[in-house]
């Protein structure tokens, strides 16, 4: 009987992300296991350009340093309570109209 390949054998041997070389290529499955997220989340981050990747021999590969930067990147922006977001297009339009009204050439 043929033995099944365990795709997470390397992660089981080194479960701590700090134990991996920062530039070692790892598969999406391994990256998901190391980051503690689902494989779909890793693929979504790659698709959105948040996680650099390379396709080599049909395998989608990332690096542990890339995963760490993605997982511990900048904190999401939050709104302060009671503050309405500024519609930049409306503000830009108001500035443009004010500039046109003040322009003596018109």
What are 54's strand-pairing partners? 61
Name the pLDDT band for 52 (thresholds 50, 70, 90).
very high
Judge whether 48 and 40 are in contact, CB under 8 Å.
Answer: no
Confidence at residue 84, expressed as pLDDT on a 0 to 100 scale: 59
**Across the chain, what does the average pLDDT equal?**
84
Q: Which CATH fold would you assign to the domain 8-73?
A: Multidrug-efflux Transporter Regulator; Chain: A; Domain 2 (1.10.1660)
Q: Which of 68, 57, 82, 1 is nearest to 31 (CA)?
A: 68
| Residue written as token pair 């009987």 | 1
Span 60-105, pLDDT tens digits: 999 999 999 998 876 566 666 665 555 667 777 777 788 888 876 6
Give me the residue spans of the domains in the chain.
8-73
Confidence at residue 35, expressed as pLDDT on a 0 to 100 scale: 92
Confidence at residue 62, expressed as pLDDT on a 0 to 100 scale: 95
- Helices 39-47 + 28-35 axis angle, to 10: 110
- Tell me the whole-structure pTM to 2 decimals: 0.64
């Amino acid at each position: 009987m043929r033995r099944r390949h365990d795709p997470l054998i390397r992660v089981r041997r080194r479960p701590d992300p700090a134990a991996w070389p920062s530039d070692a290529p790892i598969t999406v499955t391994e990256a998901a296991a190391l980051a503690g997220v689902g494989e779909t989340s890793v693929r979504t981050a790659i698709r959105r350009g948040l996680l650099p990747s390379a396709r080599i021999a049909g395998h989608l590969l990332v690096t542990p340093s890339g995963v760490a930067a993605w997982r511990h990147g900048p904190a999401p922006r939050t709104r302060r309570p009671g503050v309405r977001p500024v519609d930049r297009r409306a503000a830009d339009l108001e500035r443009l109209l004010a500039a046109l009204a003040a322009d003596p050439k018109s």
